[in-house]
Structure 1
Amino acid sequence: MDWNGLVVTICSVVARRSDLKLIVTSATMDSTKFSSFFGNVPTFTIPGRTFPVETFFSKNVCEDYVDGAVKQVGRHRLHYLYLSHSSFKN
């Protein structure tokens, strides 16, 4: 479900269930706009940490991106396990 679909769903559920308590978390959402849209609901900011991210691009275009992502994660995990295991031998 995309973000817009989620907001529409939240609006319809909240309109029917005033007792509903909902927690939404997002690292990129503009919480001020979100709060304002839903009637100035309270927001909380929880400090966190950031981690470096590496971006990898596939050399080939895949037809099924979910299958391609799962295979790529598997290959990355095997490579990580290999490196971890080989470091114990040295």
Structure 2
Amino acid sequence: MKLITLTKPLLDTTALSAICAPGDAILLRQDAVYLCLQPGLTLPVPVLALASDVQWRNIVPQTKVELIDDARWVELCASANQNLLWN
């Protein structure tokens, strides 16, 4: 399983989707959580967002995104075969 972390809201979904495989996950962090405001955001793997980053920016997700806490983030990082930072 790859954990692909995004930190910026700029997103090339075609390129990102090309590296995703079943079992992978995408984590939105920092300013990338603004992608939660896009109601039509579709990616081939589950999309997660760090709840503290969402709360800090005072946004309400408009798309299907699972909010996770810091403990779950650490679990995902530890269990992933690869941790990628996507720019």
- Compute the TM-score of the two structures, normalised by the length of structure 1: 0.31
User: Which one has a larger percent strand, Structure 1 or Structure 2?
Assistant: 2
Q: Which has the higher contact order (CA 8 A, sep 6+)?
A: 2
| Higher gyration radius (CA) | 1
